[in-house]
């Protein structure tokens, strides 16, 4: 048995043990209060683009133990996801026993009836919260619970994302700045507000600016024109991109498979999708070399672990996406990467790091091309609730147990 296969055997064994951990009765794992905060988007002081709104969750148990988690949200859908979180939280609180596995079954039933990415994001947040509580109850970091090692250095890449118009010279400067900071892998989005020819020229110019030793990731952000994607793929081949992300919408599995077959670039996809059935279809079609599901959108940590093992069986790598706050969801992403053998690297949004420091104490250190987790239990992030209240534009609190004094 090779090392990677053995690692999945260990992970599955750890998960089985966690279902009935010694000294822990899930029946006593009662939920008392559920809170959500939606932060306002931020542009002031942000050098490159805009920091979008983020949605944070905190569950409190009847014993006063609390956790924190995060849901992936898109602009104008934040309150819809928050409402689903509160509805699912109320349903979960009525169960005789609650755990990440029991909650996943509940969330899957709800998501199956509605087929909505918002339901998957809500389920991701609540399951993440339960993992955080479980880690605190057992006094162990999440990755250690999963049989991983919090001392493992996790490769990362810097994502240069902008919501505003930019020129190639500005992008070159931004990319070389990241290299100077120690990043050895950089992602760019050359199609934003640009033509296919402009995008190809941009990739080749950035490659010239950063040199040949830096891994360059090219993200086309789900184009709806396969011919344009192919044109760009052929034009940027001399730049040797490390991967070619979302050249076409990931839902068009046939076109994605054809692009991967015909071009000489590694294809990454999955960030905009959820559900095991979708990823099984991607793997069965041979449509990707890397899957980059978002941990705060996919449906939960358990789903991401299942997808990772399926990918491993097909020789496919995992590089989780994280268009979130770079606090709670980012820490959860790093814990999963430290727990699976086919994790290639984890995503870092530079603009979101400073923003997150205003309201959270993170559980990881970014150092050059690696992230390092702490030994704090659970996910390991503490929210500064007072600061979060100051930054949020919508706060909602639901009492899950009217009998509890905490309500």
Q: List, in order, residues 6 or more apart from 352 with CB less than 8 Å away.
A: 51, 324, 325, 326
DSSP 28: G
For residues 248-255, give the mean pLDDT: 93
User: In the chain, which segments carry CATH 3.30.390.10?
Assistant: 3-143+383-399
The CATH number of the domain covering residues in 3-143+383-399: 3.30.390.10
Which residues does residue 392 pair with via DSSP β-bridges, in sequence order?
Answer: 39
Query: Taking 70 as the threshold, does the pLDDT of residue 76 lie above it?
Result: yes
Q: Judging by DSSP bridges, how do beta strands 55-61 and 267-269 pair with one another?
A: unpaired
Nearest CA to 370 out of 345, 393, 404 is that of 345
Residue 108: per-residue pLDDT: 85
Closest to 117 in 3D by CA, of 62, 172, 71: 71
Chain mean position to CA 272: 11
381 pLDDT above the threshold of 80: yes
| % of the chain at pLDDT higher than 70 | 93
Joined tokens for residue 370: 């690696």
Average pLDDT for 95-100: 86
- Per the document, the length of the chain is 407
Q: Are 370 and 154 contacting, i.e. CB atoms less than 8 angstroms apart?
A: yes
181: confidence class by pLDDT, cuts 50, 70, 90: very high
In angstroms, rounded to a whole number, what is the distance separating the alpha carbons of residues 10 and 3?
Answer: 10
- Is a pLDDT exceeding 60 seen at residue 38? yes
Q: Please check the confidence at residue 176 and state whether its pLDDT lies above 50.
A: yes
Average pLDDT, the chain: 90
Contact at 8 Å (CB) between 237 and 207? no
- For residue 149, give the nearest of 318, 14, 319 by alpha carbon: 14
Nearest CA-CA partner of 119 in 111, 108, 127, 109 = 111
pLDDT above 80 (res 37): yes
Which band of pLDDT confidence, cut at 50, 70 and 90, is reported for residue 354?
confident
- What three-state secondary structure class fits 406? coil
Q: Please state the pTM of the whole predicted model.
A: 0.94
The CATH class that applies to domain 149-379 reads alpha beta
Cβ contact 56:39 at 8 Å: yes
Indicate if the pLDDT at residue 75 is higher than 80.
yes
Count CB atoms within 10 A of the CB of residue 197: 12
For the stretch 123-148, pLDDT in tens is 999 999 999 999 998 999 999 999 99
Banded model confidence at residue 98, pLDDT cuts 50, 70, 90: confident
Q: How high is the pLDDT of residue 406?
A: 44
Structure tokens at 89: 């939280």
Cβ–Cβ under 8 Å, residues 373 and 4: no
Q: Which residues, other chains included, contact 376 with Cβ-Cβ below 8 Å and sequence gap of 6+?
A: 141, 363
Domain with CATH 3.20.20.120 in the chain: 149-379
Q: What is the pLDDT of residue 351?
A: 78
Q: What is the pLDDT of residue 26?
A: 56
Q: Residue 233 is encoded by which pair of tokens? A: 């793929």
Place of tokens 């979960």: 92
CB-based burial of residue 51 (10 Å sphere; 0-12 exposed, 13-18 middle, 19+ buried)?
Answer: buried
The answer to whether 218 touches 158, Cβ cutoff 8 Å, is no
Contact 374, 363 (CB under 8 A): yes
The answer to whether residue 377 scores a pLDDT higher than 50 is yes
Other Cβ atoms within 10 Å of 113 Cβ, number: 9
CA distances from 140 to 130, 132, 156, 379 (A): 14, 10, 23, 9
């Amino acid at each position: 048995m090779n090392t990677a296969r053995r690692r999945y055997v260990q992970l599955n064994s750890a998960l089985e043990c966690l279902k009935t951990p010694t000294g822990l009765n899930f029946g006593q794992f009662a939920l008392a209060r559920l809170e959500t905060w939606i932060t306002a988007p931020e542009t002031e002081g942000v050098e490159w683009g805009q920091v979008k709104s983020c949605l944070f969750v905190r569950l409190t148990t009847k014993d006063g133990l609390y956790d924190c988690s995060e849901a992936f949200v898109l602009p104008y859908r934040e309150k819809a996801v928050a409402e689903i979180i509160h509805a699912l939280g109320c349903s979960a609180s009525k169960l005789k026993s609650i755990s990440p596995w029991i909650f996943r079954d509940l969330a899957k039933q709800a998501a199956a009836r509605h087929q909505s990415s918002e339901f998957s994001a809500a389920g991701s947040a609540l399951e993440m919260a339960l993992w955080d509580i479980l880690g605190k109850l057992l006094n162990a970091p999440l990755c250690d619970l999963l049989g991983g090692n919090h001392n493992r250095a996790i490769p990362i890449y810097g994502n240069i994302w902008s919501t505003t118009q930019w020129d190639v010279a500005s992008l070159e400067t931004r990319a070389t700045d990241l290299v100077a900071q120690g990043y050895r892998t950089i992602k760019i989005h050359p199609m934003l507000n640009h033509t296919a020819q402009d995008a190809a020229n941009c990739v080749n110019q950035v490659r010239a600016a950063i040199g040949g030793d830096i891994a360059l990731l090219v993200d086309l952000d789900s184009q709806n024109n396969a011919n344009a994607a192919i044109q760009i793929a052929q034009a940027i081949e001399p730049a040797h991109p490390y991967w070619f992300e979302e050249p076409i919408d990931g839902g068009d599995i046939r076109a994605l498979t054809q692009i991967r077959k015909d071009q000489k670039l590694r294809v990454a996809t999955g960030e905009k999708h959820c559900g095991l059935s979708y990823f099984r279809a991607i793997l069965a079609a041979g449509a990707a070399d890397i899957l980059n599901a978002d941990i705060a959108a996919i449906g939960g940590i358990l789903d991401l672990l299942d997808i990772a093992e399926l990918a491993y069986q097909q020789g496919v790598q995992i590089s989780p996406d994280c268009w979130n706050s770079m606090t709670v969801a980012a820490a959860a992403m790093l814990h999963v990467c430290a727990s699976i053998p086919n994790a290639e690297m984890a995503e870092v949004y530079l603009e979101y790091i400073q923003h997150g420091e205003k309201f959270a104490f993170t559980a990881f250190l970014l150092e050059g091309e690696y992230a390092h987790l702490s030994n704090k239990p659970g996910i390991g992030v503490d929210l500064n609730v007072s600061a979060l209240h100051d930054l949020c534009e919508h706060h909602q609190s639901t009492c899950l147990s009217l009998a509890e004094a905490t309500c």
